A = this chain, B = another copy of it.
Amino acid sequence: MISFECDYNNGAHPEVLKRLIETNNEQTLCYDKDCYTKSAKDKIKLACDDDQADVFFLTSGTQTNATVISSLLKSYEGVIAINSGHINVHESGAVEYTGHKVIAIEGKNGKMEAKALRSYMEDFTANYNDGHSVYPGMVYISLPTELGTIYNAKELELLYNVCREYDLILYVDGARLGYGMMSQECDITLPFLSKHCDVFYIGGTKQGALCGEAVVFTHNNAPKNFIAIQKQHGALLAKGRLIGIQFDTLFTDNLYFDLSRHAINMAMKMKKMFAEKGYKFFIDSPTNQQFIIINNDEVERISQKVIFTHWGPADQNNTICRFVTSWATTEESLKELEKIWE
C-alpha cells in the first residue's frame, strides 16, 4: 500500500547510504572527533555563510529540542511557543522534563506573530515580572510550521527584533527546514536565518538521513561544554560519524536542497490534484505537508488504499487528513494516489 503518512517512513537517500558503505571499513575517532563530523560542520558553516557558527549533531528532533532549550535557559525561565508548537503538544513533555515551562500563546496559521509576542511580553513586564511567574527566556518557532506554513523574511525579522528588544533567545526548529526553504514562497535562506535567530537546527531525519539533526548556534553563543551537555542528555553517539557522514553527504553538491525541492515539487502536484478534484484545504500550505478536508465516509474508503494521517476532525462529517511528500516520493506513487479516485 502506498503511504503519504509522513516524511520519515523511508530509509536514507541512496547517496547517503553509499557514503556510509564507502566509509564503513575506516577506523575513525569517536563521538565528535572524526573527520566526517568535522567536514560536515565546515560545510554547514559555509552554507550558512557564518564564520561564527558552532555546529553540533544530535540524533532526533525531540532530543534536540529538549537539549538545546534546557542548555540555554536559566532554571527559572520558560520557552514561549504557540499552542500548536511541536514542543507543546507532540514531545511527551520532554522540555518540561528538563524543568522548564512551555509558555503557550495563540498562533495564527501555525505561526507566531511578532505583535502577539510583543503583546505577551508587554503584559508580562507590566503584570508578572515579580519573581512569582516563569520568566520567558526563549522563543520557539518551527520553520516550516507544524501546519506546513512558512514565515517570510520580513516576519522572521520582526519576530527577531521583538526577541532582541526583550532579551529573548530565538530558536528555530528546522526539522523540515529544507522543505520550508525550497517552498516557492520562501525568501529565507540559510545565511539569512543565521543572521536572524540565535540557534536553529537543520533536520536530517525527515530530509534524507537515517537519523540526525544539525544544531547551529549562530554567533559564538554555544553553551560552554555543549558536548558534555549532549552526553548528559543521552544525546551523543559513540559513533558520531554516523551522523557526520550523513550531513557531510547532504551538504555536498547541494544535495540537501535538491532533495527538498523534489519533495516540494511532488507536494505541489499533489496539492493541485486534490484541488482539481474539488477538495478544500484546512490550511494553504506551500510545503510538503498538505492538509485536506475529506468526508468521513471517503476517509474510511481510501484508508484501504493509502496510508495518511488523521489530523483531527474538521467538523462532524469531515476529517482533516494530512498527506506528506518527501525526498523519496515518486511520480509513480502520485499516480497511484490519483488512481484511487478513478
Using CB atoms and an 8 Å cutoff, list the residues of chain A in contact with chain B: 2-3, 5-6, 8-12, 14, 17, 20-21, 23-31, 59-64, 66-67, 70-71, 74-76, 78, 89-94, 96-102, 104, 127-128, 131-135, 205-206, 210-211, 223-225, 227-229, 231-239, 241-242, 307, 312, 328
DSSP class of A's interface residues: helix, strand, loop or mixed? Answer: loop
| Given known contacts A232-B75, A233-B97, A132 and B90 CB-to-CB distance under 8 angstroms | yes
Q: Whole-angstrom distance between the alpha carbons of A11 and B99 in the complex?
A: 34
> Which of the residues B26, B61, B233, B328 comes within 8 Å of A11, measured between beta carbons?
B26
22 sample A-B contacts, Cβ–Cβ < 8 Å, listed by A number = A5-B30, A8-B30, A11-B20, A11-B24, A11-B25, A11-B241, A12-B24, A14-B24, A17-B21, A27-B328, A60-B236, A62-B234, A63-B235, A78-B96, A90-B133, A92-B132, A93-B101, A96-B100, A101-B102, A131-B225, A135-B228, A210-B242
Query: A6 CB to closest chain B CB, in angstroms?
Result: 6
Say yes or no: B14 contacts A67, CB within 8 Å: no
Determine whether the beta carbon of A30 is less than 8 Å from that of B9: yes
**A261, chain B: closest CB distance, angstroms:** 21
Contacts of A64 in B (CB 8 A): 234
A57 to nearest B CB, angstroms? 12
Smallest Cβ distance from A305 to chain B, in angstroms?
A: 14
Given contacts A24-B11, A26-B11, contact A231 B17 (CB under 8 A): no
What are the residues of chain B within 8 A of A21 when measuring CB–CB?
A: 17, 21
A232 (CB) vs chain B CBs: closest residue: B92
B99–A99 touching, CB < 8 Å: yes
Q: Is the CB of A89 within 8 A of B234?
A: no
Chain B residues with Cβ under 8 A from A211's Cβ?
59, 211, 237-239, 242
